[in-house]
Amino acid sequence: MTAPITMVDLQNQYLRIKPEIDAAIQRVLHSTAFIQGKEVANFEEKLEQFTSSKYVISCGNGTDALLAALIALGIGPGDEVITVPFTFIATVEAIALIGAKPVFVDVCEDSFNMNVQQLENAITPKTRAILPVHLYGQCADMEPILKIAKQHDIRVIEDACQAIGTKYTFSDGTVKQAGTIGDIGCTSFFPSKNLGCYGDGGAIMTQNSDLADKLRAICRHGSAQKYHHDYIGINSRLDTLQAAILDIKLKHLDEYITNRQNAAEYYYKALSAVKGLALPIRVPYSTHTFHQFTLKVKDSKRDALKQYLSEKGIPSMVYYPIPAHLQPAYRYLGYQEGDFPVSEQLCKEVLSLPMHTELTEDQLQYICETIVNCPL
């Protein structure tokens, strides 16, 4: 065995681009324009080009991106926003924080994403938006979601925090990137995300110029012009150091995605015949950028497999062990165990394997051999 295996390997990723990164950091330090330096607008423009999004507004993190999106659409107390309980809590938290009510629909057991069949039933006269999550790097089925939203005149906000660079194909062949499909798309540059900075960071995408202006103002205390406040906003900025780092990492994003897809390909080849495991399915309408490579472990053996791997020096993670509707903080919504059986079952079965841009063939071989030879 060579280097220890980790869930993510930001150290070796950094070392490969160290000269460029160090120079960019030095440049910002010398400029002392730590907030709103020219690197920020430059990065927004580069991300617009990369994602083919008309407007990119950077902000402090992915959670703020979701908050700003909800505020920009005028959503608040008395309103309902439909999302899924099988997600990172920030999706639900943002809805609750602005005073709206999170309304859940279950996810599909194969794609892990929003079950579109259940959408119509969840819509009420109070529904203002649908907030699908592109979990683990694969898009939710956006075309039917957009159709239903249009029929009911409600907005669509994408939680694309795990799916930067993922591509969705419509039935007419049109291809759009995650985050650029709905009214507003939100992403995160948390260090372990597929495009991660060296601290917190996020961005909001939209194709509508009025929404873009509003989102930009909302992230600056609701102000388009200094000391003039048109909206109640938040203070949420991508700092210049992070923008400079992201500009460099964005140039490598295609290669990072390919590395993840290659690691996933190795897992598919080596593990597809293993009894008791279900490998992640790849839906026809979306590419998969493998923010996570997430297995389903059958017969209540997930925790035992996790323990076994850990003893063999292989980390693994459960994303996520408890669905949002059963979290103590969200008990007030009145949901109960059994309300979203697929999400609840997934919380008992899912296990994410090491997935990052620096996995070596030796490491992948060791991980897969260990799983194949696991006596469970």
Ligand X SMILES: *Cc1c(COP(=O)(O)O)cnc(C)c1O
Residue in 162, 194, 286, 352 binding ligand X, rule: CB under 6 A: 162
Instruction: Tell me, by CB under 6 A, how many residues bind ligand X.
Output: 15
Does residue 194 bind ligand X (CB under 6 A)?
no
Instruction: Give Cβ neighbours of residue 141 (< 8 Å, ≥ 6 apart).
Output: 111, 113, 114, 116, 283, 285
Does residue 90 bind ligand X (CB under 6 A)?
yes
Contact window for ligand X (CB under 6 A) among 69-77, 159-167, 223-231, 345-353: 159-167
Q: Find where tokens 């993670």 sit.
A: 317
Q: Which has the closest alpha carbon to 9: 138, 137, 196, 270? A: 196
* CA separation for the pair 62, 202 (Å, rounded): 5
Crossing angle between the packed helical segments 240-251 and 38-51, to the nearest 10 degrees: 30
Crossing angle between the packed helical segments 253-271 and 240-251, to the nearest 10 degrees: 60
* CA separation for the pair 25, 241 (Å, rounded): 6
As measured in angstroms, the least distance from the Cβ of 160 to ligand X is 8
Chain residues 105-134 in contact with ligand X, contact rule CB under 6 A:
133
Residue in 68, 107, 157, 161 binding ligand X, rule: CB under 6 A: 161
Does residue 58 bind ligand X (CB under 6 A)?
no
As measured in angstroms, the least distance from the Cβ of 188 to ligand X is 3
Residue in 58, 91, 138, 294 binding ligand X, rule: CB under 6 A: 91
Contact 191, 103 (CB under 8 A): no
Q: Which has the closest alpha carbon to 130: 72, 172, 184, 67? A: 184
Q: Measure CA 39 to chain center.
A: 24
Chain residues 203-232 in contact with ligand X, contact rule CB under 6 A:
none
Residue in 202, 233, 323, 354 binding ligand X, rule: CB under 6 A: 202
Chain residues 228-247 in contact with ligand X, contact rule CB under 6 A:
none
Residue in 88, 112, 267, 340 binding ligand X, rule: CB under 6 A: 88
Does residue 184 bind ligand X (CB under 6 A)?
no
Does residue 164 bind ligand X (CB under 6 A)?
no
Contact window for ligand X (CB under 6 A) among 58-66, 233-241, 247-255, 269-277: 58-66
- Give the residue with the Cβ less far from ligand X, 13 or 292: 292
Contact window for ligand X (CB under 6 A) among 35-43, 56-64, 71-79, 275-283: 56-64
- Give the residue with the Cβ less far from ligand X, 131 or 351: 131
Residue in 80, 106, 158, 159 binding ligand X, rule: CB under 6 A: 159
As measured in angstroms, the least distance from the Cβ of 186 to ligand X is 7
* CA separation for the pair 317, 283 (Å, rounded): 23
Residue of this chain nearest to ligand X (CB atom): 62
Q: Looking at this protein, which amino acid is placed at residue 327?
A: Q
Contact 288, 264 (CB under 8 A): yes
Chain residues 290-349 in contact with ligand X, contact rule CB under 6 A:
none
Structure tokens at 9: 């390997």
Does residue 190 bind ligand X (CB under 6 A)?
yes
* CA separation for the pair 28, 373 (Å, rounded): 50
Q: Which has the closest alpha carbon to 375: 295, 280, 276? A: 276
Contact 306, 316 (CB under 8 A): yes
* CA separation for the pair 217, 326 (Å, rounded): 35
Does residue 188 bind ligand X (CB under 6 A)?
yes
Contacts to ligand X by CB under 6 A:
61-63, 87-88, 90-91, 133, 159, 161-162, 188, 190, 200, 202
